[in-house]
Amino acid sequence: MTFLYTVELLDKNKHDLKSFNCGKPDMDAFLSRFAFKYSKLGLSSTWVLTKEPNEPKNNNDVKQEKQRAKSEVIAYYTLAASTVVKSGIPTDNSLPHYPIPVVLLARLAVDQKYQGKGLGAKILVTAIRHAVELTDGGLPAYGLVLDVLDDDVLKFYQCFDFFKPFTNNPTRLFVGMNSVRQL
Structurally, the chain folds into a number of domains equal to: 1
pLDDT for residue 18 is more than 80: yes
In order, the DSSP letters of 21-65 are: --S-HHHHHIIIIIHHHHHHHTS-EEEEEEEEESS-S-HHHHHHH
pTM (predicted TM-score): 0.86
CATH code of the domain covering residue 148: 3.40.630.30
Of residues 103 and 161, the one with the higher pLDDT is 103
Of residues 43 and 153, the one with the higher pLDDT is 43
Instruction: Using DSSP, state whether 139 is helix, strand or coil.
Output: coil
Q: What is the pLDDT of residue 59?
A: 58
Q: Are strands 45-53 and 3-9 parallel, antiparallel or unpaired?
A: antiparallel
> Which domain, by its residues, includes 67?
3-180
User: In this structure, what are the phi and psi dihedrals at residue 93, rounded to the nearest 5 degrees?
Assistant: -95, 10
